[in-house]
A and B are shown apart, each in its own frame.
Chain A
Amino acid sequence: MAVTIAKEKWTSKVGEMVLGADSTVKVGGESALPFLHFEGEIPNKPVLALEVWDLEPVDWPEILKKPFADVLADPVAWAKKNVEYGADLVALRLMSAHPDYKNATPEECAATAKAVADAVDVPLIVIGCGVEEKDADLFEKVGEALNGKNCLIGCATEKNYKTITAAAMVNGHSVIASSPLDINLAKQLNILMTEMNLPANRIAIDPLVGALGYGIEYAYSIMERARMGALMGDKMLAMPVICFVGQEAWKAKEAKSPDDENPEWGAQERRAILWEVITATTFAQAGGSIFVLRHPETVKQVKVQLDKMMESNAY
């Protein structure tokens, strides 16, 4: 008996974002729910970024530091290492600008960002220190230093989006728009940014995801709703979604707890990496397009999974 395949008739699609000086990386563009090749186009595979910090991370577990042991204090070498590890993009986190750390000046950060950008041939994601006022100052300089590199910068929030958006527009970058687990605020921030004439396909939505076990389901459902909105023609939710998986997964107790602390949980290395991998692959099923990760083994495993998911399942 022939089963009639049930296909949704979507009327629209996710916007396509292009990153990199030579436009090497494309994300978004889907006209179907994640990996349902049988009902639409999925032109671009989700992309993976590995983080680089501009100062030696203080709270990373040993397992996470090990693959970068000799480069943790050198962002340029670290970035190159990330490319060797197979990252599609390098995500530079300008943590040194944080008042609690070095309180580095925008100029200092801009110099670091430039050095990193010049050292690698993959596109850059540049993330501020998370203090909204400081990040606004930061990106005026950093955006300029990276002019023409077509980076993804952020995270822009309700409070600092104006400066960051302006810096992105002048210097040809795209912007990460962050809003705390709230689809309505996410949509509004996208509107405010497009009202400044930033093209919609130069915005990536950051729904501030939680890790597996720590609220993953909230962002999962927000991303599913946003993708449905996009496919049904809601242009202000039709942006690719960026998921900061590494920072969340490596906060989880299940990733940080060493072998001897909870022996009933199994070996830390395997458990921690699976924590990061499954957080990422679960969000991929909800519509995530850009994943910012921390461990090179995670990049390897997520890539294998995504390669398989990109194979057609059309009937």
Chain B
Amino acid sequence: MILIGERINGMFKDIREAIQNKDPEPVRYWAKRQYEMCASYLDVNTGPTVEAADQPAVMEWLVKTAQEAAPLPCCIDSTNPDAIEAGLKVHKGKAMINSTTADQFKMDIYIPMAAKYNAAIIGLAMNEKGVPKSASDRIALAMEIVVNCDMHGVPMEDLYIDPLMLPCNVAQEHGVEVLETLRQIKTLADPAPRTTMGLSNSSQRCTNRHLINRTFLIMSMACGLDSAIADVDDEELLDAVAAANILLNKDIYCDSFLKTFRSK
């Protein structure tokens, strides 16, 4: 399971203030903390309060600051292509672009960008009409992204399809469709594209958020989920992933499996 730490995001108050004050400390703290908590990528997002014109510079600063503090690649998260490219330019190692939708005009921007910078890319199973409800409609959109990536030479192991989970308090019927989508994505190509998910989305404004996140993550792993953008500062979540890795025969069992998972 590739965990992408969600915490360096301007939606969180401490990061928003850090951006405003050009204070690297909170960014550094979360880069290190999430590294210690098994993250493989750091999601970096300027948040909605930064003006579009300033977003490239802020993104550049976030990527640099995060990578100085922890030896991890970034998942460069923005709806602004200039901000993403600014992040890619200063990034060390293999970055991940977060994200394109299945709209042709977006794919035409982001997928060549992924190819140019040899970056991985997240493809959302949605388009300008919104998030489809059924698994088959999600799969059809995923397929559009698969074909476009293939055309531009982005290998399938660099494509992460996000079937888009919606909060379960308002869109409860989406859960089973997302799980079915995860199963079917693996049949789209050989080698198959990878999958990811914005996990905290599933529990927006719900009670017992950690429990919902954790449960849905494990259910999704059983359906083939490869990666998740998640709150890695959640010990119970990590322990559940460690157990699921054993049950899915991804890690070799030993009595100290929780500990070995953490020390990876």
Contact = CB atoms under 8 A, between A and B. Distances in A.
A183 B252 contact: yes
Contacts of A235: 260, 263-264
A295 interface: no
A184 B252 contact: yes
B209 interface: no
Contacts of A229: 252
A80 interface: no
Contacts of A191: 254-256, 259-260
Contacts of B253: 184, 187
Contacts of A188: 254-256
A121 interface: no
Interface in B227-264: 251-256, 259-260, 263-264
Contacts of A237: 252
B263 A187 contact: no
A235 B262 CA distance: 12
A234 B252 contact: yes
A234 B263 contact: no
Contacts of B254: 184-185, 187-188, 191, 236
Contacts of A184: 252-254
Nearest to B251: A234
A225 B249 CA distance: 12
B255 A225 contact: no
Nearest to B255: A188
A130 interface: no
Contacts of B256: 188, 191-192
Interface in A145-194: 183-185, 187-188, 191-192
A233 interface: yes
- Count class of interface residues, chain B: 10 to 19
Contacts of B260: 187, 191, 234-236
A229 B249 CA distance: 12
A178 to B, nearest CB: 15
A37 B252 CA distance: 26
Interface string A273-292: 00000000000000000000
Nearest to B260: A236
A183 B246 CA distance: 13
Contacts of B264: 233, 235
A183 B259 CA distance: 17
A99 to B, nearest CB: 31
Contacts of A185: 254
B259 A225 contact: no
B226 to A, nearest CB: 14
A235 B252 CA distance: 11
A234 B251 CA distance: 8
A74 to B, nearest CB: 43
A262 to B, nearest CB: 41
Nearest to B246: A184
Nearest to A189: B254
A235 to B, nearest CB: 7
B259 A187 contact: no
Interface string B105-146: 000000000000000000000000000000000000000000
Contacts of B259: 191
A275 to B, nearest CB: 31
Interface in A207-242: 225, 229, 233-237
A188 B253 CA distance: 8
A193 B126 CA distance: 51
A192 to B, nearest CB: 8
Contacts of A192: 256
A184 B263 CA distance: 17
A225 B251 CA distance: 11
Which of A184, A225, A229, A233 has the most C-beta atoms of chain B within 10 angstroms of its own C-beta?
A184
A229 to B, nearest CB: 5
A191 B252 CA distance: 13
B261 to A, nearest CB: 10
Contacts of A225: 252
Interface string B31-52: 0000000000000000000000
A251 to B, nearest CB: 29
A254 to B, nearest CB: 33
A187 B251 CA distance: 11
A237 B251 CA distance: 11
A247 B256 CA distance: 32
A225 B250 CA distance: 12
30 contacts: A183-B252, A184-B252, A184-B253, A184-B254, A185-B254, A187-B252, A187-B253, A187-B254, A187-B260, A188-B254, A188-B255, A188-B256, A191-B254, A191-B255, A191-B256, A191-B259, A191-B260, A192-B256, A225-B252, A229-B252, A233-B264, A234-B251, A234-B252, A234-B260, A235-B260, A235-B263, A235-B264, A236-B254, A236-B260, A237-B252
Given A187-B252, A191-B255, 20 more contacts: A183-B252, A184-B252, A184-B254, A185-B254, A187-B253, A187-B254, A188-B254, A188-B256, A191-B256, A191-B259, A192-B256, A229-B252, A233-B264, A234-B251, A234-B252, A234-B260, A235-B263, A235-B264, A236-B260, A237-B252
A-B residue pairs, 3 tightest by C-beta? A187-B254, A188-B254, A184-B253
Interface of A: 183-185, 187-188, 191-192, 225, 229, 233-237
